A = this chain, B = another copy of it.
């Protein structure tokens, strides 16, 4: 029977479903533009085989292991490495069996749709994963991973990826990217400039990071001017390696636009290591505006991903470190927060700032009105917890009427899970086609317009907005 319903995520009513299916048919085969994500460039550089099934699907994926953790499965039983280097499960088959025994937890979640998509379309399974078939799954996947067809570059081609962006520290030497470019392989993998470690005074090792930024660029990063020049220098390097965008993961969307002397003084204060929490926050906000000004000069697209309260569980942070499924969204204000930046550069049509949110209440109230007015602003797709069928639907329902389609930028998969990439884009394409079909069947859009919009949402808008 198969794991995947051929008409999944389309409306149930046949007239609407038929149209959704037709629209999807027109975009299903388009190449994947993946302008924002977290896959490891080493995969494409070395083209080594992926390790065992558990290391591929369970242990590194916080979407997966947090769900099992929420039902009492210890993270160590899933092989998550301990911060103190203490014992954690290393037997891939044991981890896989535990995962299979809890697979019902994912009912109704996008993870389930992503996993099933990979299991069926990449590995050919047609029975739902369960304890009964856990070993069969494990064996077949493990075997496949040893073959050349399942190496990263082969999958890249099979997935029809036109371009993928990784996310890289401002201090990264982009060695893997260098290797990829030198290798003669045709796959297009570009870096993204992510300067959190040298912009956020609360980032572990901030002072050392700023010093390293100076060393890398030959700039005096103890001076405000030198520090800004160092950013410009690294951005130019990233751009030379194919980057078209920067990314910023602040806790809030706060921006500042201080007079230069005040900004320099704030930076000096930050460097003392004795800045207050509010000064640190103001500095992050100032740097967003500085970054936007640099984007005006060098054309890099600015992505802002605010709103995650990172490392919510002190216990999990102490035992396992960052990115372990315990980052929780919170309320995020955009209207007041973005005003300094927007007053500085918001009316610049040559600038592109892409806003994301973990707070859906901002869609209709703040983000669509802002993006529907300021030339520099565009709306990123539903992010993280909202990268799901219901979340995507809410995004369209709550932003389209005020911001339209053309102030949005298509889809981001935003993932570390390479094998989920086709599934995620497929989901977005289906949900968008369903939305377009509903607009047509309720007389809000012409059929011809829907066929023009579908490829824009699946492909064109992302390519244009990210300048790829």
Question: In the complex, which of the residues B5, B67, B346, B441 contacts A313, with contact meaning CB atoms closer than 8 Å?
Answer: B346
**Bound CA–CA A16/B11 (angstroms):** 11
In the complex, the answer to whether A108 meets B309 with C-beta atoms within 8 Å is: no
Known: A105-B404, A315-B343. A12 touches B9 (CB 8 A): no
Q: Does A278 make an interface contact (CB < 8 A)?
A: no
In the bound complex, residues from chain B placing their C-beta under 8 Å from that of A6 are 443
In the bound complex, residues from chain B placing their C-beta under 8 Å from that of A9 are 442-444
Which residue of B has the minimal Cβ distance to A372?
Answer: B70
Shortest Cβ distance from A24 into chain B, in angstroms?
12
In the complex, the answer to whether B390 meets A401 with C-beta atoms within 8 Å is: yes
**Bound CA–CA A385/B371 (angstroms):** 13
Question: In the complex, which of the residues B66, B70, B360, B365 contacts A331, with contact meaning CB atoms closer than 8 Å?
Answer: B365
Q: Does A406 make an interface contact (CB < 8 A)?
A: yes
In the bound complex, residues from chain B placing their C-beta under 8 Å from that of A444 are 5, 8-9, 108, 113, 389
In the bound complex, residues from chain B placing their C-beta under 8 Å from that of A389 are 401, 442, 444
Q: Does A366 make an interface contact (CB < 8 A)?
A: yes
Size range of the chain A interface in the assembly = 35 or more
**Bound CA–CA A16/B349 (angstroms):** 45
Known: A329-B366, A373-B328. A108 touches B72 (CB 8 A): no
Q: Does A109 make an interface contact (CB < 8 A)?
A: yes
Segment at the B interface, from A29-37, A149-157, A262-270, A445-453: A445-453
**Bound CA–CA A406/B397 (angstroms):** 27
Question: In the complex, which of the residues B70, B333, B346 contacts A315, with contact meaning CB atoms closer than 8 Å?
Answer: B346
In the complex, the answer to whether A67 meets B404 with C-beta atoms within 8 Å is: yes
Q: Does A182 make an interface contact (CB < 8 A)?
A: no
8 A Cβ contacts from A344-370 to B:
346-347, 349, 358-361, 364-366, 368-370
Q: Does A339 make an interface contact (CB < 8 A)?
A: yes
In the complex, the answer to whether A312 meets B330 with C-beta atoms within 8 Å is: no
8 A Cβ contacts from A35-75 to B:
66-67, 69-72
8 A Cβ contacts from A71-110 to B:
71-72, 104-110
Q: Does A391 make an interface contact (CB < 8 A)?
A: yes
In the complex, the answer to whether A72 meets B313 with C-beta atoms within 8 Å is: no
Question: In the complex, which of the residues B69, B109, B313 contacts A404, with contact meaning CB atoms closer than 8 Å?
Answer: B109
Bits for A1-36, please: 1 = Cβ < 8 Å to B, else 0. Answer: 000111111111101100000000000000000000
Question: In the complex, which of the residues B13, B110, B329, B442 contacts A8, with contact meaning CB atoms closer than 8 Å?
Answer: B442
Which residue of B has the minimal Cβ distance to A403?
Answer: B70
In the complex, the answer to whether B335 meets A330 with C-beta atoms within 8 Å is: yes
Question: In the complex, which of the residues B8, B405, B442 contacts A11, with contact meaning CB atoms closer than 8 Å?
Answer: B442
**Bound CA–CA A71/B350 (angstroms):** 10
**Bound CA–CA A407/B113 (angstroms):** 19
In the complex, the answer to whether A331 meets B328 with C-beta atoms within 8 Å is: no
Which residue of B has the minimal Cβ distance to A365?
Answer: B329
Bits for A367-401, please: 1 = Cβ < 8 Å to B, else 0. Answer: 01111111101000000011011110000011011
**Bound CA–CA A230/B374 (angstroms):** 41
**Bound CA–CA A406/B107 (angstroms):** 9
Known: A373-B66, A402-B385. A443 touches B107 (CB 8 A): no
In the complex, the answer to whether A449 meets B107 with C-beta atoms within 8 Å is: yes
In the bound complex, residues from chain B placing their C-beta under 8 Å from that of A109 are 400-402, 404
Shortest Cβ distance from A350 into chain B, in angstroms?
8
Bits for A140-172, please: 1 = Cβ < 8 Å to B, else 0. Answer: 000000000000000000000000000000000
**Bound CA–CA A375/B359 (angstroms):** 24
A312-B373, A329-B366 are known contacts; what are 4 more A-B pairs with Cβ within 8 Å? A5-B442, A9-B442, A12-B442, A105-B406
* A to B CB contacts below 8 Å, 17 in the list: A5-B444, A6-B443, A12-B15, A67-B404, A104-B406, A106-B404, A107-B449, A108-B444, A312-B370, A313-B342, A313-B346, A315-B346, A329-B366, A331-B361, A364-B391, A368-B385, A385-B401
